[in-house]
Structure 1
Amino acid sequence: MPVPDVPALFDLTGTVVLVTGSSRGIGRALAEGLAGAGATVVLNGRDPERLARTRDELAAELGEGRVHAYGFDVTDADQVERAVAAVEAEVGPVGVLVNNAGVQHRVPLVDLDVADWRRVVETDLTSAFLVGRAVARSMISRGRGKIINVASVQSDLARPGIAPYTAAKGGLRTLTRAMAAEWAGSGVHVNALAPGYLATEMTQALVDDEQFTQWVVGRTPARRWGTTADLVGPAVWLASPASDFVDGQTVFVDGGMTVVV
């Protein structure tokens, strides 16, 4: 058996990568990291100003032709279909999709408004179905593609006060398996990343809470908060040919949190 060309296994040169919810936080870090492996990245977000600012910042680093931005609501099926068609016509066939868009809502379950339940589940779970379905159609016809769903340690664990998020992320882990079951035979490989507690703009209030930070550090064998940079290597692996026989898996990037009691 010949020795594999290892760098080539992780090379994304020429691959168009669509990352939802990528104007900041985890999505931006993943887009930037995948671009670092050679990909052309398509950013997405609902805030036009923030999206344009992120596109300009990344384009200054990577070059104008390597970064594109499409603002659309990932929970709106019609907008999703139009946006994916536009990306494929104007940028190129989407070779990798990262379903990252997500929101959080912290309130006790008995006080949770139905509208907030639906908003979280639609953003964190249904959007992955909508965008995944739209992208998978052309991937299946080409016989290749990668989809990475961004789940959470809450796919496996639960904490009080975040029930809709926990339900959505648990559903996303199972949706990942369902997508793999249906599409792996067509060359479309679907997996999930499950981040642990990461220090991001969205979690800054928790990072600043000394008691909560002590809990995170004490509960995590790695004894620290994670960073968005911790996700880049696993994301490049799942997006690249190096993971072509990996299907339906959820890769926990959590410093060991889910393996201890």
Structure 2
Amino acid sequence: MVTGAGQGIGAAVTRALVAAGAVVAAVDRNPGPLAALAEEFAAEPAGGDPAAAGGVRPYVLDVTDAAAVESTVDLVERQLGPLGVLVNVAGILRTSPAVELTDEDWAATFAVNTTGVFHTCRAVGRRMAERGTGAVVTVGSNAAGVPRAGMAAYAASKAAATMFTRCLGLELARSGVRCNIVSPGSTDTEMQRALWGGDAEAAERRVVDGDPAGWRVGIPLGRIAQPADIAEAVAFLVSDRARHITMHDLYVDGGATLRA
């Protein structure tokens, strides 16, 4: 199951997992992009078994709705079989100076970025623990570890989701369930481009070069990430190649935070 699968990093993670042979329950609250993603993998598997080969099955879901999360997880497991992987990607960004943040923006940010992670991890993690196997990855942000001007709500919500996932990993370790975090830096997604304004090329260059006035270092590797860069890290952490890794926070930011 991948949340926020309709676009950006979520769509890239979905494609990477399908390429690795998984059947993915792609979850998003926006049915349009979700349907387009599913159409990429519309061919029926041999024998008509939806879990027999890699592919995408779309499920419209708002992760802030606890009851809907539980019912959707039940439906997915009835239709596709036991969930072995959960990737939390669904997220929103509301920018504002901290002292000007509205109650609505603060609450909405935490509802998706933190409480949504709690809802999905509770529903799926409980089932994984009973089965004695599973892998959870939460896509956080390097902003969870380094302050960002104008991003107080986003950074705080990602920090909370990161620590929740690590605590979950500690609690479920004896049950054979691994829980990790992938923390991207600036990545070429619609969310990122919404911050750039009109001149995308100049804005991207500012991100790569850094902004001393905003107390922000640049990206030492000299390039902004692509969603596939994040997806590859996720695919590794949910695979058996990472079978002895849990409670880890993997920064995929081109060195932008100097791993502070």
- The number of aligned residues is 244
1:48 to 28, 31, 48: 31
| Percent of residue pairs identical | 39
User: Residue type of the partner of 1:234?
Assistant: A
Q: Write the mapping of 1:156-175 to structure 2, written as runs, cut at 5 A.
A: 156-175=145-164
Question: Structure 1, residues 15-70: CA drift from partner, whole Å, max 9, x if none?
Answer: xxx00010111100000001101111111111222222221123359999421011
- Cα distance in 2 between the residues matched to 1:260 and 1:184: 26
TM-score (norm 2): 0.89
Instruction: Give 3-state SS (helix, strand or coil) of 1:69's partner.
Output: strand
Q: Do the aligned partners of residues 111 and 206 (structure 1) sit closer, same or farther apart at CA in structure 2, a change above 3 Å counting?
A: closer
Q: 4+ residue runs of structure 1 moved beyond 3 angstroms?
A: 60-65, 205-212
- Cα distance in 2 between the residues matched to 1:60 and 1:199: 29
TM-score (norm 1): 0.88
- Cα distance in 2 between the residues matched to 1:142 and 1:103: 32
User: Residue type of the partner of 2:251?
Assistant: F
Q: How big is the shift at 1:159?
A: 1.5
Partner of 1:4: none
Q: Write the mapping of 1:133-144 to structure 2, written as runs, cut at 5 A.
A: 133-144=122-133
- Cα distance in 1 between the residues matched to 2:155 and 2:119: 20
Partner of 1:151: 140
User: Is the contact between residue 32 and residue 58 of structure 1 (CA under 8 Å) also seen in structure 2?
Assistant: no
Partner of 1:190: 179
Instruction: Give 3-state SS (helix, strand or coil) of 1:193's partner.
Output: strand
Q: Write the mapping of 1:109-258 to structure 2, written as runs, cut at 5 A.
A: 109-207=98-196, 208-209=199-200, 212-218=203-209, 219-258=218-257
Q: How big is the shift at 1:205?
A: 3.7
- Cα distance in 1 between the residues matched to 2:103 and 2:24: 35
Q: How big is the shift at 1:80?
A: 0.4
Q: How big is the shift at 1:214?
A: 2.9
- Establish whether residue 83 from structure 1 lines up as the match of residue 72 from structure 2: yes
Instruction: Give 3-state SS (helix, strand or coil) of 1:94's partner.
Output: coil
Q: Do the aligned partners of residues 21 and 62 (structure 1) sit closer, same or farther apart at CA in structure 2, a change above 3 Å counting?
A: farther
2:42 to 50, 56, 59: 59
Q: Do the aligned partners of residues 260 and 212 (structure 1) sit closer, same or farther apart at CA in structure 2, a change above 3 Å counting?
A: farther
Query: Can you give the 5+ residue segments of structure 2 that lack an aligned partner in the other structure?
Result: 210-217
Comparing 219-228 and 57-66, the one that deviates more: 57-66
RMSD: 1.9
User: Residue type of the partner of 2:155?
Assistant: T
- Cα distance in 1 between the residues matched to 2:31 and 2:219: 37
Query: Can you give the 5+ residue segments of structure 1 that lack an aligned partner in the other structure?
Result: 1-17
Q: How big is the shift at 1:232?
A: 2.5
Q: Do the aligned partners of residues 260 and 146 (structure 1) sit closer, same or farther apart at CA in structure 2, a change above 3 Å counting?
A: closer
Partner of 1:96: 85
